[in-house]
Chain A
Amino acid sequence: MHALPPGPSPAEQAAAPPEPLVVEIPGDTVYLEAAWRAGSAWDPVGQEGLAALTAHLLREGGTATRSPEEVEHLLYTLGAELEVVVGKELVVFRGRALAEDAPALLDLVAEMATRPGFDAATADRLRDEARQELTTELTTHDEALGDTTLDSWLYEGHRYGHPVDGREGSLALLDADDARAFHQRVWTREATTIGLGGAVDADLAASVRDAFSALPSTRARPPTPAPVRVPRDRSLLLVQNDTDSVGVHFGHPLDLTPGSREHAALTVGMASFGLHRESIGTLYRELRGERGLNYGDYAYAEFFDQDGWSTDREIGSRRLHTQAYVWLRPLDAAAAPFALRAAVALFEDLAEHGLSEGEFDAITAYLAGRRPLEAASPARRLAMLVEREALGLDATDWLPELTLDDVNAALAEHLDPGALQMVVVARDTEAFAAAVLEETVPVPVYATVPTPEVAATDAVWASHDLSLAEDRITHVSAEGLFR
């Protein structure tokens, strides 16, 4: 048995209990999507990683009435799924169970959120695992290393400017008591959005509302996040790691809110440039398709975290601050300097010239056709609704209204090639820096004879000016990068 944390006083419970959003889904499964504005952006300075530690501790650290082992055993016998997604803005508890098992699952999740156990040994283990994620896991996963580095660097000095898992140094200081205090302060009714789907009747929805009503109230919505500061001039961060391949990531913060018309227009433009894991993007077509340089090349108008092995976005990870982001998958070291120049040249061209009419027609048709397919997954349908509500985003479907001019205006207005922040992960960062400063880099030797068009373009790209002075290039080691 675990000690009961002090509960909120009646006076604090003045705000209305969170009324569940209910989505109709056929079948005898019940879906739960519970979101809190309690992601890593709420980490106190010096306690980076606390939001994620708290979220995972609520899930794994037992409850007031059950030990961690009893919680796991109950979930297991219910056959229920319960996963936790922690992003910069949101923490999501996502569960599903067969209808007969749903009340037990919903009660358990409500108890996790309102009367957690804060098991100290579990906190200790989770903290060590987070530290492991920031060290060994990153240095042995090239793509994640480059991605996490750029994502933190873009927001240096901002509350997005550290990994969700925290930092090695701050994690060492955290314990279950810190998580308890964070939970009391941040996990409030106002920060809560609950969604239910499937075999849910009014009684079940009411019982869920009542169960979560034990959350305290601050009588205020969580504050609007501070704006991202003006980006730097173009810079390159070279991350030295023990790896044979080279990873290239670049981008810059955007001053656009997701859900806005302008952001929707920019999203269409970036999808045409490099839709995630699809072959229709310009980057993919040019670098992988025409030249066979790597496995894939993608572009985004906001943070994108892939949902497991699927190619879908992990819902729950969406943020209020957006970013332009380009990702080249691992390259041969000899070809990487050329690939960086090619991708930057293409990005500059996108900002300057936008899409052609044909490209616009193709991508909008594709995106319009694809949307109902995403809704075919009931869990995703519910999750998207809850995410949007939790973040307070505009639900307008802008796609049918957008014109080519809208998209190109957004690209011209919001893409800022001069502000690109680039991260390159490589073993020989000195050699890469030298190649960046050269006037021309060698064109890779392809397995097939390039067409005259490809050869002509290559010659231009090989001498494309990256406009990176030596003092804008920084070298760091992957070891201790997030200390």
Chain B
Amino acid sequence: MLLLLPFAAAGVLPGTVTETTLGNGLTLLVAELDAPGVVALQTWVDVGSRDESEPGTTGYAHFLEHLLFLGSTGFDADTRDATLVSLGARENAWTSDDHTVYHLLLPSSGLPQVLEQEADRLQHLVLTDAGVRQEAGAVLGEWRRDQNQPAVRLHEAVYAAAFPTHGYGHGTIGLEADVRAMPEGLEAVQGFYDEHYRPERVRIVVAGDVDAEEVSTLVEQHFARWEAGDGRPAQPVEEARTERLVVEVEHGSDAPWSMVGWHVPGMDPRDPDAAAAAVVGELLFGDVSPLRQQIERDRRLVHSLEGPWRPRARPYLMTATSELRDGTSFEAVEAAVLEAAAALRAPEPAQVEDARDHLAKRFALEQDHPDAVAGTLGWLGGEAAADAWVEALRAVDEDAVAGFAHTWLTDEHLVVGRLDGAE
């Protein structure tokens, strides 16, 4: 064990947070909370669909997430299920572009048993041809679920065009051909697991009614022998764009959808620029943004504006997506979004203040449950980062917003998507 850093409970998160890094690079974050008898366990693996660089493997981070429930050397699936059922534990998992996250909520008394099983499936997963073939059907079913949604089609097309080489260019569920070929994917998914499931890319987060020292001992016991890998592989860098990108999609629905956005840089959430970007996102798309007031309520151009946004580790898009109302032209919506972005080059100080305070208060409000605290620690990577994030938010001023808007909300970074409704 390399590092043990206890923090006092004076920060933005409730309870006491202890951070530990094992010799193999694995990070353990423990939040001791007033949550009688309950604990949240989250495993954050720094692997997502952006890491699917081998041809034919789009969707494999998510596919592997499914396969982690099928058993490991020490605990087959039935044994693991029986443990969780006997505890009443609730578990699920999700995969995004950047992360794969396994999350459980369970009685604190069950943590030693569940941690041992968690360690086993992260290090000694048993992948079989039969298991892969069977679970591929479930993934195909999940893919099928969303295929009729125009917004999903538009999102896929815009990101494919905006990121021709980077892994952000395909959705987390994967391309249809790759999803349909998953039954044959045993070898590829085994390779993906061996390469990406490595301790230096994992954060174990425990939040709830626990003793940090006891948890630390357990994690040391079950994870310390896990062999380190080579870290996260470098991703291709997209060439800088020099002009706006327009993507038109024919889906054949009656509902035209618009997406307007900009390439923005990758940001560590601890970077002050990330806080400025978050405030810009809020000023553009937040509940009281002038853009929302105008296109949803006053002029009623769109049904609803979708624009929640938070900084990504890699260059990404900051987008406004909306379904157009009857009679609305793409040009009208696009002009309104561009006008709102232009206004941020000289923002009203009071608006900036409202937005940053709103984000900081919401952050504080959300930390009222073991799951939420674990999620925050997993995303930000530690308590100091959480404190820094809120501090950075509170420090964002009109100059920071204007600077971001000048640099990034420009024509050469602009991406426009239009689905259906073309004459």
B211 proximity list for chain A (CB < 8 A): none
Pairwise interchain contact A288-B138, C-beta atoms closer than 8 A: yes
The answer to whether the Cβ of A152 comes within 8 Å of any Cβ in the partner chain is: no
Residue of B nearest to A366 (CB): B85
Tell me the complex Cα distance, A54–B368, Å: 31
Given contacts A76-B354, A293-B137, contact A373 B105 (CB under 8 A): yes
User: Chain A nearest CB: distance from B298 CB in Å?
Assistant: 9
A291 proximity list for chain B (CB < 8 A): 134, 137
The answer to whether the Cβ of B364 comes within 8 Å of any Cβ in the partner chain is: yes
User: Chain B nearest CB: distance from A316 CB in Å?
Assistant: 18
- Per-position binary interface string of chain A over residues 370-385, scored 1 when its CB falls under 8 Å from any chain B CB and 0 otherwise: 1111001111000000
Residue of A nearest to B34 (CB): A26
Residue of A nearest to B323 (CB): A136
Within 8 A of B (CB), among A35-93: 68-69, 72-73, 75-81
Residue of A nearest to B128 (CB): A448
User: Chain B nearest CB: distance from A458 CB in Å?
Assistant: 14
Tell me the complex Cα distance, A275–B214, Å: 33
Within 8 A of B (CB), among A287-338: 288-296, 311, 329-332
B365 proximity list for chain A (CB < 8 A): 29, 79-81, 96-98
Pairwise interchain contact A294-B141, C-beta atoms closer than 8 A: yes
Given contacts A292-B137, A373-B105, contact A77 B323 (CB under 8 A): no
A80 proximity list for chain B (CB < 8 A): 365
Partner of A367, one of B88, B105, B183, B361: B88
Pairwise interchain contact B358-A136, C-beta atoms closer than 8 A: no
User: Chain A nearest CB: distance from B207 CB in Å?
Assistant: 10
The answer to whether the Cβ of A244 comes within 8 Å of any Cβ in the partner chain is: yes
The answer to whether the Cβ of A242 comes within 8 Å of any Cβ in the partner chain is: yes
Pairwise interchain contact A365-B106, C-beta atoms closer than 8 A: no
Given contacts A365-B85, A372-B37, A373-B105, contact A141 B149 (CB under 8 A): yes
Within 8 A of A (CB), among B131-156: 133-142, 144-145, 147-150
Partner of B129, one of A69, A75, A448: A448
A227 proximity list for chain B (CB < 8 A): none
Given contacts A79-B362, A369-B86, contact A280 B81 (CB under 8 A): yes
A141 proximity list for chain B (CB < 8 A): 148-149
Pairwise interchain contact A143-B145, C-beta atoms closer than 8 A: yes
User: Chain B nearest CB: distance from A332 CB in Å?
Assistant: 7
Pairwise interchain contact B129-A369, C-beta atoms closer than 8 A: no
Partner of B88, one of A68, A78, A366, A378: A366
Choose, from B113-121, B285-293, B307-315, the stretch at the interface. Answer: B285-293
User: Chain A nearest CB: distance from B25 CB in Å?
Assistant: 30
Interface size classification for chain B: 35 or more
Given contacts A329-B141, A371-B88, contact A29 B368 (CB under 8 A): yes
A295 proximity list for chain B (CB < 8 A): 138-139, 141-142, 144-145
Pairwise interchain contact B364-A98, C-beta atoms closer than 8 A: yes
User: Chain B nearest CB: distance from A134 CB in Å?
Assistant: 13
Pairwise interchain contact B369-A377, C-beta atoms closer than 8 A: yes
Pairwise interchain contact B38-A140, C-beta atoms closer than 8 A: no
User: Chain A nearest CB: distance from B400 CB in Å?
Assistant: 20
Pairwise interchain contact A79-B368, C-beta atoms closer than 8 A: no
The answer to whether the Cβ of A245 comes within 8 Å of any Cβ in the partner chain is: yes
Tell me the complex Cα distance, A298–B252, Å: 32
Tell me the complex Cα distance, A289–B77, Å: 11
Pairwise interchain contact A370-B141, C-beta atoms closer than 8 A: no
- Per-position binary interface string of chain A over residues 349-372, scored 1 when its CB falls under 8 Å from any chain B CB and 0 otherwise: 000000000000010011111111
Tell me the complex Cα distance, A373–B14, Å: 19
A69 proximity list for chain B (CB < 8 A): 288, 293
Pairwise interchain contact A79-B357, C-beta atoms closer than 8 A: yes
Pairwise interchain contact A245-B137, C-beta atoms closer than 8 A: no
Pairwise interchain contact B149-A140, C-beta atoms closer than 8 A: yes
The answer to whether the Cβ of A243 comes within 8 Å of any Cβ in the partner chain is: yes
A288 proximity list for chain B (CB < 8 A): 137-138, 141
Pairwise interchain contact B90-A330, C-beta atoms closer than 8 A: no
Partner of B255, one of A76, A136, A373: A136
A472 proximity list for chain B (CB < 8 A): none
Pairwise interchain contact B148-A140, C-beta atoms closer than 8 A: yes
The answer to whether the Cβ of B160 comes within 8 Å of any Cβ in the partner chain is: no
The answer to whether the Cβ of A129 comes within 8 Å of any Cβ in the partner chain is: yes
Tell me the complex Cα distance, A378–B106, Å: 16
Tell me the complex Cα distance, A379–B140, Å: 36
B-binding residues in A (CB < 8 A): 26-27, 29, 68-69, 72-73, 75-81, 96-98, 101, 121-122, 125, 128-129, 132, 136, 140-143, 241-245, 277-280, 288-296, 311, 329-332, 362, 365-373, 376-379, 446-448
Q: Which 8 A-B pairs have the closest CB atoms?
A: A369-B88, A292-B137, A79-B361, A295-B141, A294-B141, A447-B133, A370-B88, A447-B183
A-binding residues in B (CB < 8 A): 14, 34-35, 37-38, 69, 81-82, 85-90, 92, 105-107, 129-130, 133-142, 144-145, 147-150, 183, 208, 252-255, 286-288, 293, 296-297, 300, 303-304, 323, 325, 354, 357-358, 360-362, 364-365, 368-371
Beyond A142-B148, A288-B141: 13 further Cβ-contacts under 8 Å?
A: A76-B354, A80-B365, A140-B149, A241-B148, A279-B69, A293-B141, A331-B144, A369-B88, A371-B88, A373-B88, A377-B368, A448-B133, A448-B183
Q: List 29 A-B contacts (CB under 8 A).
A: A29-B368, A72-B288, A76-B286, A76-B287, A77-B354, A80-B365, A96-B365, A98-B365, A101-B361, A121-B297, A125-B297, A140-B255, A142-B145, A245-B144, A294-B138, A296-B141, A330-B141, A362-B82, A369-B89, A369-B107, A373-B88, A373-B90, A376-B208, A377-B369, A378-B369, A379-B369, A447-B133, A448-B129, A448-B134
